């Protein structure tokens, strides 16, 4: 029952799915529970990816051709953004503004806390969303099952990657403790990582079963490389990670998986 509470708390934290009323009271909340819920972030990806795949399939069934695939990909992306409240996209924009707006570490962190979006953040969002739509539309040529598994696996595995940043890097966000990510920064245990990996293994197996071993390994490898690159970037520029950095890492890893799966050498 504790595992179910932690999963529902992760769902409440990372999506707009309502966990309210008596259910919210039963789930409860504490910083320790939020840390434990990190184990279930890939589980949230299963739901988000399934919604995206369902919308893509429904749209493409009545919209043939390349244009129809683009519209289906766009509607699928809209659905996942609405479901998560653009939580991770907001992190990507803040990171782009902070790192692009100043070479100074302290100033970069200050910019990232600013709720206003700047030129670097807007450009990053446009490019990221465009890449998602075009890569998903390209994947449509491989069949609906290929797109569905790409969406699900990308949303699951891209939510596993940020957990390793929490494990590897110190937290350098809001020292006042008001940041939403602060409870996650205190610690993430080996047990939580193993549970997160357990959520991810079925997605990996399905990915390789549908897209083939070569594309599956390429997707995992490019996702891992993207996560390592983001970790090195944050270590060099910020000396650690922030909540926005975790969201940005999810976005970059998601796109990396789509790219690997769509690539046809």
Of 47, 78, 92, 42, the closest CA to residue 204 belongs to 42
Segments in the chain forming alpha helices (H): 2-14, 21-27, 31-37, 41-60, 65-84, 87-101, 105-113, 119-139, 144-168, 182-186, 190-211, 213-237, 243-262
Q: What is the predicted pLDDT for the residue at 4?
A: 85
Tokens representing 92 are 């990507």
What values do phi and psi take at 163, rounded to 5? -65, -30
Instruction: Quick: pLDDT tens for 97-154.
Output: 999 999 999 999 999 999 899 999 999 999 999 999 999 999 999 999 999 999 999 9
Which has the higher per-residue pLDDT, 56 or 189?
56
Q: What is the predicted pLDDT for the residue at 18?
A: 86
Lowest mean pLDDT among 66-70, 152-156, 169-173, 258-262: 169-173
- Spell out a b/e string for 100-110, using b for 16 or more CB atoms within 10 Å of the CB, else e: bbeeebeebbe
Q: What is the predicted pLDDT for the residue at 182?
A: 58
**For residue 89, what are the β-bridge partners?**
none
Instruction: Quick: pLDDT tens for 216-243.
Output: 999 999 999 999 999 999 999 999 999 9
Indicate if the pLDDT at residue 159 is higher than 80: yes
Torsion sign (Cα): 3, 227, 231, 94:
negative
Read off the pTM: 0.93
Which pLDDT band holds residue 22 (cuts at 50, 70, 90)?
Answer: confident
Which has the higher per-residue pLDDT, 3 or 128?
128
Indicate if the pLDDT at residue 1 is higher than 80: no
Q: What is the predicted pLDDT for the residue at 186?
A: 60
Of 265, 249, 126, the closest CA to residue 257 belongs to 249
Radius of gyration of the chain (CA): 18
Tokens representing 259 are 């790219």
CA angle, corner 261, sides to 209 and 158, nearest 5? 90
Alpha-carbon distance of 125 to 56, in angstroms, equals 21
Indicate if the pLDDT at residue 180 is higher than 70: no
Q: What is the predicted pLDDT for the residue at 33?
A: 82
| Arithmetic mean of pLDDT, 74-90 | 96
Say which residues have a Cβ less than 8 Å from residue 214's Cβ, sequence separation at least 6. Answer: none
């Amino acid at each position: 029952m504790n595992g179910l509470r932690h999963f529902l708390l992760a769902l409440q934290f990372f999506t707009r799915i309502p966990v309210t009323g008596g259910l919210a009271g039963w789930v409860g909340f504490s910083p320790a529970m939020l840390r434990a819920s990190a184990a279930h972030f890939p589980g949230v990806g299963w739901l988000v990816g399934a919604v995206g795949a369902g919308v893509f399939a429904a749209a493409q069934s009545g919209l043939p051709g390349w244009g129809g695939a683009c519209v289906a990909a766009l509607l699928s992306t809209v659905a996942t953004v609405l479901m998560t409240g653009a939580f991770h996209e907001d992190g990507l924009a803040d990171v782009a503004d902070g790192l692009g707006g100043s070479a100074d570490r302290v100033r970069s962190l200050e910019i990232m806390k600013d709720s206003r979006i700047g030129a670097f953040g807007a450009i990053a969002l446009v490019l990221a969303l465009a890449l998602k739509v075009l890569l998903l539309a390209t994947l449509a040529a491989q069949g609906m099952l290929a797109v569905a598994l790409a969406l699900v696996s990308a949303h699951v595995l891209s939510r596993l990657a940020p957990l390793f940043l929490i494990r590897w890097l110190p937290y350098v966000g809001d020292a006042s403790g008001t940041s939403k990510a602060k409870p996650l920064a205190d610690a993430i245990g080996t047990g939580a990582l193993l549970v997160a990996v357990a959520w991810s293994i079925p997605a990996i197996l399905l990915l390789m079963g549908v897209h083939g071993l070569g594309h599956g390994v390429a997707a995992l490898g490019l996702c891992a490389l993207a996560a390592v690159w983001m970790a090195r970037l944050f270590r060099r520029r910020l000396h650690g990670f922030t909540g926005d950095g975790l969201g940005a890492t999810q976005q970059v890893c998601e796109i990396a998986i789509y790219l690997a799966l769509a690539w046809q050498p």
